[in-house]
Structure 1
Amino acid sequence: MTQCRNGMTTRGNTPVRILIAEDDLTSRTLLVSLLEKAGHEVIETRDGMEAWRILQMPDAPRLAILDWMMPEMDGIEVVRRVRATDTELPAFIIMLTCRDTKTDLIHALDSGADDYLIKPFDAGELRARMGVGIRIIQLQDALLQSREDMAYQATHDPLTGLPNRRAILERLERERERCARNGETLAIGMCDVDRFKAINDTYGHQTGDEVLCGISRMLRESVRSYDAVGRLGGEEFLIIAAMPTGARPYQLFDMLRRQLHQTPIVTRVGALPVTISIGVCVTARDSSLTEMLALADEALYEAKSQGRNRTVCKGGAPENLDDTSP
């Protein structure tokens, strides 16, 4: 079973949303009756311009039956416009017409129609062609979902769900370039879980994983909506925070450290007190990504050397460095 982006599920003969564009009232009424009896949700219109408008909507029907000859815009032109639109979820379009020559069939299919139904149509043939359309839609949805899953797995840490090292460093490079253009201050915080090896050795790696997930969740929920958090690897995380020139990045990062210090992480062995050390780098306009990471790593080493559970800042104004107490 596949979940479509418009919220409707398709499987076998499961109901779908269908657009019928047909100016002949008798033919349109018959189509609507047959499809609604089959459980489908039908949207109907009598002219091509309205059909084109509906097919441009974000929640447009994934299957459409278009009459060839319609007021305002004919079915062939509607198909051409739909096929010229860049979309990952194209509609399956059945062209409905009295024209029955091979030349007409080729013209309709060459224009972008997926199938062809000749009037007067047989109800059984309509059901069969609808079944083909639904199967095609299923395959499209499954392919898109598979591609999205692969993209997510390539950019996210499987344990914590945070952006992985590659993804967070790519985000850092984009933010560095953006802040350089806009004259903003960019700060990064390299976070390391204090005495994490002791947690693993004492309580086991599953508990250690729960600690990492708990810290990830706290960081993600505590940073501002436009900041970014990623897992560099092991017990190290990276926070990216852009702010106006003159802001005090140290306070933002130290608030996170204090919050974690005051919030035990719930695990299978109970709530464990956990702390982190944070090395903060405040970038200069011409700082490279490598230089920023090196400064943050140096600041993190100092935080560890000073007794852990500390925030140390490099590259900021002196007033940003005035508090390293737990």
Structure 2
Amino acid sequence: MLLRSALQRWGYEVVLAENGAQALDILAEPDAPSMAILDWVMPHLTGPEVCRKIRETHREPYTYILLLTSKNTKNETVEGLDAGADDYIVKPFDEHELRVRLRAGKRIIDLQMHLMQAREELRERANKDLLTMLPNRSAIAAALEQEIARCHRDRRSVGVILLDIDHFKSINDNYGHFAGDAVLRETACRLRGNMRPYDQVGRYGGEEFLVVLPNCDLEQATMQAERMRSVLHSTGMMVEGAELQVSASFGVTVSDGLGRNPDLFVRVADEALYQAKASGRNCVRSRRLQESALA
């Protein structure tokens, strides 16, 4: 087949389809070719029909489609492009012309991939705290909401830990904001390194972090908070040439299947955090929703 041999000679990997329906199936696969050359006249589905069905799915990454046709009237050209083809070439085709058009198509595909990558990077940046590289407030709150909904369906509880670095303002005042940033980064690193693979932690505020513990009762969540407290305080943090003894106060609660409002459980954890600070800081306090004035 002349077309196949030419494409292989130019370095393309070729996948053949015997008819329009088979071409549609191939192009609908997750690892579908990024470029397609479709004959206008094919059994089962015509080239324009395949184009139209592919475009209806709005699939990504984009498939560049070139129609191969013996028709060369303006109306038929418009029909093919309206169906979703990116370009067309008239049979019998000139190899040089086809190669040039495929190169142009590859540039479009490459540009589309760059745009997709840039969009994904923007999405990640929108959900990430750039200082600690943890999920930001909105992202960790969304994660908590999802876990509460899931565990509510499964009749399990979700542990919620809200922690606040003790005397953080003094660190900024005495050592500078670069030191404060370093403490936040190191705190994030230690928290992340002492969690189960499916637990999540995010930066919730200035020096506050929120931890989400799926399938965790109050006792287990409190024990996890105590481990985190020990990890933060047991070893000093080297910051700006000085070793700082950093501690944090922890408030713990669990969903217990009593509600689905994530803000409610964060506020209960915040009440427990307030108790921890009132008890001298560097400690863990837990509180159930039933014990809260918010109940």
Shared fold per TM-score greater than 0.5: yes
Q: Which residue of 2 aligns with 1:189?
A: 161
Is residue 31 from structure 1 mapped to residue 7 from structure 2 by the alignment? yes
SS of 1:162's equivalent? coil
CA distance in 1, matches of 2:49, 2:276: 67
CA distance in 2, matches of 1:221, 1:242: 17
Q: Size of the alignment, in residue pairs?
A: 289
CA distance in 1, matches of 2:33, 2:234: 51
Q: What do residues 125-166 of structure 1 show as CA deviations (whole Å, max 9, x unaligned)?
A: 223322432332244234333433332233221211222112
Normalised to the residue count of structure 1, the TM-score between the two structures is: 0.78
Paired amino acid for 1:299? A
Which stretch has the larger CA shift, 198-207 or 50-59?
Answer: 50-59
Aligned mate of 2:231, from 248, 251, 259:
259
Q: 1:85 to 1:46 in 2, by over 3 A?
A: same
Aligned mate of 2:136, from 141, 164, 179:
164
CA distance in 2, matches of 1:32, 1:120: 19
The 4+ residue runs of structure 1 with deviation greater than 4 A are: 70-74, 244-247
Superposition pairs for residues 104-183 of structure 1, below 5 Å?
104-183=76-155
Aligned mate of 2:24, from 39, 46, 52:
52
**RMSD across aligned positions (CA):** 2.7
- What runs of 5+ residues in structure 2 fail to find an aligned partner? none
Residues 160, 269 of structure 2: 8 Å contact kept: yes
Normalised to the residue count of structure 2, the TM-score between the two structures is: 0.85
RCO comparison, higher one (Cα < 8 Å, 6+): 2
Residues 203, 269 of structure 1: 8 Å contact kept: no
Q: Which residue of 1 aligns with 2:276?
A: 303
Residues 207, 269 of structure 1: 8 Å contact kept: no
Residues 215, 265 of structure 1: 8 Å contact kept: no
Residues 93, 113 of structure 1: 8 Å contact kept: yes
CA distance in 2, matches of 1:273, 1:96: 72
Q: Which residue of 2 aligns with 1:291?
A: 264
Quote the offset at 1:266 in angstroms.
4.6
SS of 2:14's equivalent? strand
Paired amino acid for 1:44? V
Residues 190, 236 of structure 1: 8 Å contact kept: yes
Q: Which residue of 2 aligns with 1:239?
A: 211
CA distance in 1, matches of 2:221, 2:241: 35
Paired amino acid for 1:45? L
Q: Larger strand proportion, structure 1 or 2?
A: 1
Q: 1:64 to 1:169 in 2, by over 3 A?
A: same
Residues 222, 256 of structure 1: 8 Å contact kept: yes
Quote the offset at 1:305 in angstroms.
2.3
Q: 1:126 to 1:268 in 2, by over 3 A?
A: farther
Q: What do residues 195-219 of structure 1 show as CA deviations (whole Å, max 9, x unaligned)?
A: 2223223332112111111111222
Q: 1:269 to 1:47 in 2, by over 3 A?
A: farther
CA distance in 2, matches of 1:247, 1:317: 16
Residues 136, 204 of structure 2: 8 Å contact kept: yes
Q: 1:201 to 1:90 in 2, by over 3 A?
A: same
Q: Which residue of 1 aligns with 2:65?
A: 93
CA distance in 1, matches of 2:289, 2:79: 68
Paired amino acid for 1:227? D
